[in-house]
Structure 1
Amino acid sequence: MGSMHTMKRWNVDILLSEETTEESARTWCEAGLDSEDGSSLRGHGMARKHPADEDVPEIGDELAVSRALADLARQLRQVAAEDISDHTGTPWRP
């Protein structure tokens, strides 16, 4: 019996927005995951820039995106844990 190879593609959509006031700047990120079965998750992250910090926008972007992806990963682990529990009757803690 030969092996079977299946590929799936899940796309993560990254949305960044910046909010600037006189006191500070904040970068907000939403990371959206839409899988082929129609389920979707949204992770959120934020980075804050202090007025004294050097203005390097990429740093805020990178931090906000990394936090949103971490949030997304946490939610995905939770979904997996619930699925394992539903199918095996045994709780699984990621």
Structure 2
Amino acid sequence: MHTTKRWNVDVVVSEENEGEAARTWAEVGVVADDGTALRGHGMARKHPMDMDVPEIGEELAVSRALSDLSRQLRQVAAEDINDNTGTPWRPT
């Protein structure tokens, strides 16, 4: 049997400028078929001496948010493995 599922990840990016400095926040979210929702968060700061290239802050903030979401998904999977097998999952 072959099964295909699609998980859509929602990405929201917000930027705040303060003079020559800037901060970019990102939030990513996924909702599983069972209704479980997870949200990852990330932030990037532009140093006042850096060139103003907003895409870099967006890329860094989103990558950090995705990393946070990934960590949460691994934790959920580890808990599910433990619940279903009685054996704690150990990453290799």
Task: Give yes or no for TM over 0.5.
Answer: yes
Identity of aligned residues (%): 75
- Ranges of 4+ aligned residues in structure 1 off by more than 2 Å: none
Paired residue for 1:33? 30
> Which blocks of at least 5 consecutive residues in structure 1 are unaligned?
none
Paired residue for 2:84? 87
Superposition TM-score, scaled by structure 2 size: 0.94
Paired residue for 2:17? 20
CA RMSD of aligned residues (A): 0.9
Say if 2:4 is the partner of 1:7: yes
Match of 2:60 among 63, 68, 82: 63
1: CA distance between counterparts of 2:19 and 2:60?
21
1: CA distance between counterparts of 2:19 and 2:54?
16
Say if 2:47 is the partner of 1:53: no
> Which blocks of at least 5 consecutive residues in structure 2 are unaligned?
none
2: CA distance between counterparts of 1:87 and 1:5?
23
Paired residue for 1:72? 69
- What is the deviation of 1:20? 1.2
3-state SS of paired residue (1:58): helix
